């Protein structure tokens, strides 16, 4: 392949005065800045931030494409398998960004940023679908839900109702108080309910696979961010009485006085703290983020306004604490910060809120491309599948099924029973390894994946922007 020659600096691409100049040349051919920028702007119309990096990334792709297409044309082997493979790889690389709803990603990013700016103190009432014997009893859960709502509507205290009726055994003893949360702390439906609830109010009922949930917004604060701190903990031993607690307070007060007089916090933590994990590390705690500790602990820590500040002794259920603020990493407050946007988007894509990012594809397949589900009864399909996957004797009805029988048609592509078996073979266990996946779920996922595969393989036909981009690459433009 011919050596490429650069004439100008990449950064000069951003200057209007250089657009008539040659950007690079190869084999006596010259490519101008203007020609490249036209292709870049056409294929990246929404880039407004970090434009230099976007240009640099696209330039590498553009040069490789021009050189490969040129070489294939000159040598007359543009149909060679290697070139086909490279173009297929290029297509795969580019098509990925068209397989998700970018408008949805932008909306979720804005939403996550806004929610990240505050922490919300939350209480929770949970009503389980399962009874005490482990059997599903939705009717009883519905009745209990209605009772809870009646009491809340007539003005009963939320925390008291939680103590009496919530099935959340980890929080009902303290009135359902689950501490502070921020964006990504809770499953997305719960997060939506909490952030939609004004201070002092309770949410609408949210249903999950486990039961009903009601949340109360106990209060809000500016986002705490992440805090590095040291701690001296005088922990309460089991069964300690009030006199014993008071004696430990006297020790905590004396340690605080010594700190105010200039004693070293690390040495006192090592000597006196019986939180042995942190005591062996000079009192240093793991970096603290929202919801890691009891609300009373977080609130005391948040009152320390500068690095080096030391709290007065304060009491929690665990004992007497003295904490020292070391450093704070605040949440990003610049909505246009590119690094923060990318970090939020990575979290979004790993979260349940991204589960619907491909719904638009399913709509296109169902409403424009067309699909047909062949009427093989599910019980018969499950029996046949179980026999094949687990090497069991085939039931008489299953012997009528052939691996070449059609199961699903999408557009002009037909998927067979054999295709289903191949998919089920590799997807029949849950991702967490906890056991077999329900075959109904496996089948639904098979249909969804088949729709995605068909759409991606015919993307030029259904996405004009992608089709134009691939045509330009094939034309070397």
Model pLDDT for residues 186-217, shown as the tens digit of each residue: 999 999 999 999 999 999 999 999 999 999 99
pTM above 0.85, yes or no: no
pLDDT band at 7 (very low <50, low <70, confident <90, very high): very low
Question: pLDDT at position 17, please?
Answer: 52
127, 206 contact by CB (below 8 A): no
Mean predicted confidence (pLDDT) in 283-306: 92
Tell me what pLDDT residue 16 has.
47
What fold, for 119-221? Chitinase A; domain 3 (3.10.50)
Question: Exposed (0-12), middle (13-18) or buried (19+): which is 225, by Cβ within 10 Å?
Answer: middle
- Band of the pLDDT at 469, cuts 50, 70, 90? confident
What is the model's pLDDT at position 138?
93
**Other residues' Cβ atoms within 10 Å of the Cβ of residue 216:** 26
Kindly state the average pLDDT of the residues 361-378: 91
Q: Same CATH fold, 226-329 and 119-221?
A: yes
Arithmetic mean of pLDDT, 367-375 = 90
Q: Are 278 and 231 in contact (CB under 8 A)?
A: yes
Q: CA-CA distance, 326 to 5, in Å (whole number)? A: 53
Question: pLDDT-derived band of residue 18, with 50, 70 and 90 as boundaries?
Answer: low
Q: Which residues pair with 24 in a beta bridge?
A: 6, 31
- Residue 253 burial (CB count, 10 A): 14
Which of 30-34, 172-176, 457-461, 463-467 is least confident? 30-34
pLDDT grade, residue 159 (50/70/90)?
Answer: very high
Residue spans of the domains in the chain: they are: 5-78, 100-117+331-352, 119-221, 226-329, 358-465
Average pLDDT over residues 304-325: 96
Average pLDDT, stretch 21-47? 76
**Using one digit for the tens of pLDDT, what is the confidence trace for 423-446?**
999 999 988 888 889 999 999 999
Is the pLDDT at 226 greater than 90? The verdict is yes
Both tokens of 117, joined, read 């700016």
Q: How far apart are CA 331 and CA 254, in angstroms?
A: 36
What are residue 381's DSSP bridge partners? none
Closest-CA residue to 55 (of 33, 87, 22, 86): 33
Contacts within 8 Å (CB) and 24+ apart, 106-115 = 108/348, 108/353, 108/354, 109/341, 109/344, 109/345, 109/348, 110/335, 112/183, 112/184, 112/344, 112/347, 112/348, 113/332, 113/335, 113/340, 113/341, 113/344, 115/182, 115/183, 115/191, 115/195
- CATH number for the domain whose boundaries are 226-329: 3.10.50.40
Residue 101 has pLDDT above 50, yes or no: yes
Report the chain's terminal Cα–Cα distance, integer Å. 18
Q: For residue 2, what pLDDT band results from cuts at 50, 70 and 90? A: very low
Spatial contact of 327 and 227, defined as CB atoms under 8 Å apart:
yes
């Amino acid at each position: 392949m011919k050596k490429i020659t650069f004439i100008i600096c990449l950064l000069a691409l951003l200057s209007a005065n250089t657009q008539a100049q040659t950007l690079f040349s190869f084999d006596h051919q010259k490519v101008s800045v203007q020609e490249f920028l036209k292709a870049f702007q056409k294929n990246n119309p929404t880039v407004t931030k970090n434009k230099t990096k976007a240009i640099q990334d696209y330039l590498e792709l553009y040069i490789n494409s021009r050189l490969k297409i040129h070489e294939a044309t000159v040598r007359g082997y543009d149909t060679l398998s290697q070139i086909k493979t490279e173009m297929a790889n290029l297509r795969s690389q580019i098509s990925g960004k068209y397989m998700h709803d970018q408008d949805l990603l932008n909306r979720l990013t804005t939403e996550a940023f806004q929610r990240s700016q505050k922490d919300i103190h939350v209480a929770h009432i949970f009503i389980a679908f399962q009874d005490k014997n482990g059997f599903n009893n939705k009717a009883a859960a519905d009745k209990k839900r209605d009772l809870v709502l009646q009491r809340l509507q007539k003005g009963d205290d939320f925390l008291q109702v939680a103590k009496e009726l919530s099935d959340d055994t980890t929080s009902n003893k303290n009135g359902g108080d689950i501490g502070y949360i921020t964006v990504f702390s809770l499953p997305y439906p719960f997060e939506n309910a909490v952030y939609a609830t004004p201070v002092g109010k309770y949410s609408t009922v949210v249903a999950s696979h486990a039961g009903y949930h009601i949340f109360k917004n106990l209060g809000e604060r500016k986002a705490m961010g992440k805090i590095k701190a040291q701690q001296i903990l005088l922990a309460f031993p089991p069964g300690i009485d009030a006199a014993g607690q008071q004696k430990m307070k006297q020790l905590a007060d004396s340690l605080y006085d010594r700190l105010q007089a200039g004693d070293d916090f690390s040495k006192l933590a090592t000597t006196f703290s019986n939180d042995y994990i942190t005591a062996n590390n000079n009192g240093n705690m793991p970096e603290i983020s929202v919801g890691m500790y009891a609300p009373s602990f977080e609130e005391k820590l948040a009152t320390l306004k500068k690095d080096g500040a030391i709290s007065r002794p304060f009491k929690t259920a665990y004992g007497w604490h003295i904490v020292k603020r070391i450093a704070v990493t605040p949440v990003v407050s610049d909505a246009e910060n590119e690094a923060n946007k990318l970090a939020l988007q990575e979290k979004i894509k790993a979260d349940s809120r991204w589960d619907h990012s491909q719904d638009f594809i399913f709509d296109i397949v169902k409403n424009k491309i067309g699909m047909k589900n062949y009427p093989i009864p599910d019980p018969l399909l499950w029996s046949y599948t179980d026999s094949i996957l687990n090497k069991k004797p085939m039931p008489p009805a299953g012997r009528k099924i052939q691996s070449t029988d059609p199961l699903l048609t999408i557009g002009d592509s037909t998927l067979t029973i054999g295709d289903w078996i191949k998919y089920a073979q590799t997807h029949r266990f849950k991702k967490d390894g906890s056991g077999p996946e329900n075959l109904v779920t496996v089948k639904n996922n098979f249909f969804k994946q088949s729709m995605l595969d068909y759409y991606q393989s015919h993307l030029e036909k259904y996405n004009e922007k992608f089709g134009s981009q691939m045509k330009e690459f094939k034309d070397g433009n």
